[in-house]
Chains A and B, each alone.
Chain A
Amino acid sequence: MSGLWEVLTEHLPEFSSGFFVTFRLVAISFVIAMVVGTLVAAMRVAPVRWLNVVGGVYVEFFRNIPLLVLLIIAFAGLRRAGVPINGWVAGIGSLGLYTASYIAEALRSGVFAVGRGQIDAALSLGLSYPRTLRRIVLPQAFRTVIPALASLIIAMIKNSAIVGASIVALPDLLKESRQVQAETFQTNEVFFWAAVGYLVLTLTATLAFRYFESRFQIRR
């Protein structure tokens, strides 16, 4: 396969800058998704009716809307409405809030997996509901949903490519690769290296989460 290595070595700056843009996009969005997802999950299991409803509406809205449509609303739509939003904020915000809805659902199932008896015990010891959630329920819930979180971050790495391909047009791995393809016309070679980049990211995430899973396993 002549030309395969040349494409990589000649266009290494483009590929590596794209790779790191994708990496940064995923890393920041994941933090946002975890924070918002935890809050929404807490709302959905709270003993307050209207909080459950708000959490439920959030989840159903962000889970059922296509990410591409969300990106157009967040970028072009809000700009048109006079909100000065840039590509990074729109991309990270959309990807983060979109994934947060899935994380909220995963955490909610983790909360249900924690025995009812534990919650009763904590409450009867005089802990308040938020405190029970923070000290007793969530630490266990996070551990049980580590495999689900792993597949969510992999889905997020894959979804991050939509940010570069949409009107937000962040110069991520896919965007940079298309640029290189437009210059060299070596479609197969360029897309091969882009695929390698994405597989490296997803594989690393898989291995990292497998490690976390064994590290934080609850031994019963």
Chain B
Amino acid sequence: MTYLFDPANWEWVWTGNNLRFLAEGFAVNLEIALIGIFFSLIFGLLLALLRISRLRLISVSAGIWVDVWRNLPLIFIILYLALAVPTSWRQAYSDVVPDFFPEALQNELVLGALLALVLYNSAVLCEIMRSGILSLDRGQREAAASLGLSYTQQMRFVVLPQGLRRMVPATVSQLITLNKDTTLVSIIAIQEVVRHGSSLTSAGGFFGGVQAPILQVFVMIGVFFVIVNFALSRLSRRLEIRERKRTGTTLKRVEGLEDQVAAETDLAGPPR
């Protein structure tokens, strides 16, 4: 404890560009997370629509696809794709990646990492969205059909707006998990916050010549994540309570999801 709070061990924060260096690494994490969120939401919705398809062949094969990727460790998928993505794909990635992207994302290894994040998270999000859609009362679909809406119109105007709205808390907690999981790409040598932290410590404080002890550096990185993720979860809870008051909808619990229990409990209120 005295070691942790010794001011001499925190001096690195105020010297040189150390803090800025860490923040730049953290920005890379947030960018990877944003790209991952964008594609995971799109593919997750697509998979969910395939999964509830009336053609058994489509729904069963989508189900197998989702169950396999959902039950494998993300780090396993990342390490596998780092080895298995063909060189030609990587070349293609470094050809199409826009120039305004930060340097760390220009690295062709990023392709494997992004693919892994999207494969895993789209599978998880698919399950969330599917259970949101299935939780909807049958009558909604039937009423829409009897009004003469086509399948696409039923989905677009009746089922999805209501079904997805119920799943906002679960989706946000999965996105928080995705944000935490961006640190895993450091294992395949992408220069993000964990790598930046390690180089700070191993260089013996090359910015400013002050020792940067590994414990303090990573506590700092942890604090970055706690602040951002905590803010995200508070924001979603706010939005959700407002939304529930407005629409009077209820939450739906998804089986196979660990992160969303918190959102539910806070609304239930304390037991006294």
Contacts and interface: CB of A to CB of B under 8 A. Distances in A.
A134 to B, nearest CB: 15
Interface string A142-160: 0000011001101101111
A102 to B, nearest CB: 5
A119 interface: yes
A102 B215 contact: no
Contacts of A64: 176, 180, 225-226, 229-230, 233
A162 B75 contact: yes
Contacts of B271: 45, 111-112, 114, 116, 119
A174 B79 contact: yes
B188 to A, nearest CB: 10
Size category of the B interface is: 35 or more
B265 A108 contact: yes
A69 B225 contact: yes
Given A106-B261, A148-B261, A187-B84, A77 B255 contact: no
Given A64-B180, A73-B219, A116-B272, A105 B76 contact: no
Interface in B76-99: 76, 79-80, 83-84
A198 B73 CA distance: 8
A66 B79 contact: no
Contacts of A114: 271
Given A109-B264, A198-B76, A73 B184 contact: no
Contacts, number: 149
A65 B222 contact: yes
Nearest to B182: A66
A16 interface: no
A151 B72 contact: no
A77 B83 CA distance: 30
Interface in A165-208: 165-166, 174, 178, 181, 187-188, 191, 194-195, 198-199, 202-203
B118 interface: no
A89 interface: no
B4 interface: yes
A215 interface: no
B72 A199 contact: yes
A112 B269 CA distance: 8
A39 interface: no
Nearest to A111: B271
Contacts of B35: none
B222 A69 contact: yes
A38 B182 CA distance: 29
B258 interface: yes
A67 B184 CA distance: 9
Nearest to B181: A66
Contacts of A203: 71
A78 B213 CA distance: 10
B218 interface: yes
A174 B76 contact: yes
A209 to B, nearest CB: 11
B180 A166 contact: no
Interface in B206-251: 213-216, 218-219, 221-222, 225-226, 229-230, 233
B75 A199 contact: no
Contact of B225 (A59, A66, A77): A66
Interface of B: 3-4, 68, 71-76, 79-80, 83-84, 176, 180-184, 186-187, 194, 197, 213-216, 218-219, 221-222, 225-226, 229-230, 233, 255-259, 261-262, 264-265, 268-272
Interface of A: 45, 47, 59-61, 63-70, 72-73, 76-78, 80-82, 102, 105-106, 108-109, 111-112, 114, 116, 119, 147-148, 151-152, 154-155, 157-162, 165-166, 174, 178, 181, 187-188, 191, 194-195, 198-199, 202-203
12 contacts: A65-B226, A69-B183, A73-B218, A77-B215, A80-B215, A81-B3, A81-B4, A102-B258, A111-B271, A112-B265, A147-B255, A191-B84
Given A61-B222, A77-B219, 6 more contacts: A64-B233, A72-B194, A76-B215, A81-B4, A81-B213, A112-B265
